[in-house]
Chains A and B, each alone.
Chain A
Amino acid sequence: MPSPLDLVDLPFLRDALFELVLLGVAGGVVGAWIVLRRLAFFSHAVGSAAFPGLVVADATGVSAAVAGLAVALGYAGGVRRASRAGREPGEATALLLAAALALGVVLASDVFESGAAVDRLLFGTLLGLDAEDLALSAAATGLAVAATLAFGRTWAAVAFDPDGTAALGVPAKLADFLLLALVAVAAVAAIPAVGALLVTAVYVLPAAAALLLADSVPGLIAWALALALAEGVAGLYLAYWLDVPAGPPVAVLGGAAFALVSVARGPARAGRRVRGPAPEAV
């Protein structure tokens, strides 16, 4: 068993640790809004939808962050437009997700012959995290904290009761659009470390467990942040020990923590009366 101190002693692990700490903070803050606004499927889809952009970027030398962001933000806009055209939000998300993944696979296998890069894009890597990846994660984290300070009350009110909040005169639609954009940016920032298919390991699993523990929105953010940090750091150590990408162990730990919390809190809260409309923002 390797020493946990390797995480700070070895330069490539130190970068990965720094990345996962940043993503832990973003995961706690953004994740709280994702579970409150019921955007779990959207957050998974927007990360996966960035896949074709990343394949093109990888093959052509374009900045992965720029290509991923362009596709993810375009995807978010497409889902929103499809929803406005009358499609059920989940249906619109699924339709565009399938199209984006199919395009990514065709590009990776037939156009650019991406080979090993596909695994890295889908499941993340400990090696090869560069300054641009860290900078994007730092920017996403800073954006998440700043946006939460400015829009937190509005986001909470909209997620709780969209119609009632619309009557309050707050810029609910603008706040919603910014939340979708923030989720898209956060998802793209997480892809280098945990992979396009596992961004929910950072953004949904810790917050979903936290929702079972918290009695207030600030409490939810605090619990989600603590769980995301703990799962990220422990997952990184497991990835180093088992010589696997970071995404899968972080996801397994997130799932295990959710199961443990569910059992510990009992059925009264784990199956908590999730009632009312599903106010997906998209």
Chain B
Amino acid sequence: MTRTADGAAIRADGLAAGYGGEPVLRDVSFTANRGQSVCVLGPNGGGKTTLFRVLIGELRAAAGRVEVAGRPAYVAQTERTRLDFPVTALDVALMGALARGRWWLPAGRTERAAAHAALERMGLDAVAGTRFGELSGGQRQRALLARALVQDAEVLLLDEPLAGVDPVSAALIGEVFGELRSEGRALLVSSHDVESARGFDLVLCLHGRQVCFGPPAAVLDRATLQATYGREMIVLEDGGPARAVTVQHHEHGGH
């Protein structure tokens, strides 16, 4: 993982990755610049999480290469976090301060101030002392985003941040996404919601390999969506632009 030479935030070139056997993801080549948001669409097992794991450096590319500007922040699916864990929303936000390097020292005043500011930005200042497991799904997602804000990364990778999130949280998260883009940060966001992909600058479709990459208007057509989702999608025929509803189950097997 290296800093990009030409100022791009993320660049993948002929990337393939897997878990020992055959690659579960191949032929991925795309570039996202600073201030751009990319929606990653694909079915379960399509390679979205695998791509994220390569980008955070947890998984080595089997072929090709990736470049990321700085160390990215990663927000995993909320449903993969533990609810029995004795931490508050503030504790979770403070974990982002570990990225500042002094992981062996207790959190200092500056770090606590950054965590409080991030919680306030995510509308969680009133529940800073509430146990993470007792927050609503949307609040938990916002707490994890607050951790990413404290990390202060140039690139943020978010795995289905809007899945199962209440409308208030979804609106707030969308607002913060806009602010992060205007700050020049790049966002890579995986989603099952084809309609929400229209709000992104770019769309990357994966189905074990890269199906398509480009602006939503160019990518989100019936043929591309069917190549991406196959039978896991119903295309709604109502005369307008292709609208699609995915019908897959949420089984996150790590791909």
Q: Which A residues are within 8 Å of any B CB, using their own CB?
A: 36, 86, 150-151, 153-154, 156-157, 159-161, 163-171, 211, 214-217, 219-220, 272-277
Contacts and interface: CB of A to CB of B under 8 A. Distances in A.
A86 B19 CA distance: 9
Contacts of B85: 36, 159-160
B51 to A, nearest CB: 13
A153 B98 contact: yes
B83 A167 contact: no
22 contacts: A86-B20, A157-B95, A159-B85, A163-B76, A167-B74, A167-B99, A168-B71, A168-B98, A169-B99, A169-B101, A211-B84, A215-B86, A215-B131, A216-B87, A216-B88, A220-B86, A272-B83, A272-B133, A273-B84, A274-B82, A274-B84, A277-B80
B151 A168 contact: yes
A168 B87 contact: no
A204 B87 CA distance: 20
A219 to B, nearest CB: 7
B58 interface: yes
B104 A160 contact: no
B218 interface: no
Taking each of B53, B56, B88, B101, which has the highest tally of chain A beta carbons within 10 Å of its own beta carbon?
B56
Interface in B83-134: 83-88, 91-92, 95-96, 98-99, 101, 103-104, 106-107, 131, 133
A277 B74 CA distance: 16
A164 B83 CA distance: 15
Contacts of B131: 215
B136 interface: no
Interface of B: 20, 53, 56-58, 71-76, 79-88, 91-92, 95-96, 98-99, 101, 103-104, 106-107, 131, 133, 144, 147, 151, 157
A167 B165 CA distance: 23
A166 B58 contact: yes
Given A211-B86, A215-B86, A164 B74 contact: yes
What 7 A-B pairs come out closest when comparing CB atoms?
A167-B74, A273-B83, A167-B56, A272-B84, A168-B99, A157-B95, A276-B82
Given A160-B95, A167-B58, A168-B96, 10 more contacts: A163-B56, A163-B58, A168-B151, A170-B103, A211-B84, A215-B88, A216-B88, A216-B91, A219-B86, A275-B79
A275 B84 CA distance: 8
Nearest to B78: A276
Contacts of B73: 167
Given A160-B85, A164-B144, A166-B58, A153 B103 contact: yes
Nearest to A84: B20
A276 B103 contact: no
A150 B104 CA distance: 5
A122 to B, nearest CB: 32
Contacts of B101: 169
Contacts of A219: 86
Contacts of B82: 159-161, 274-276
Contacts of B91: 156, 216-217
A217 B144 CA distance: 18
A174 B87 CA distance: 23
A232 B75 CA distance: 41
Contacts of A150: 104
B83 A274 contact: yes
Nearest to A220: B86
Contact of A163 (B53, B86, B95, B103): B53
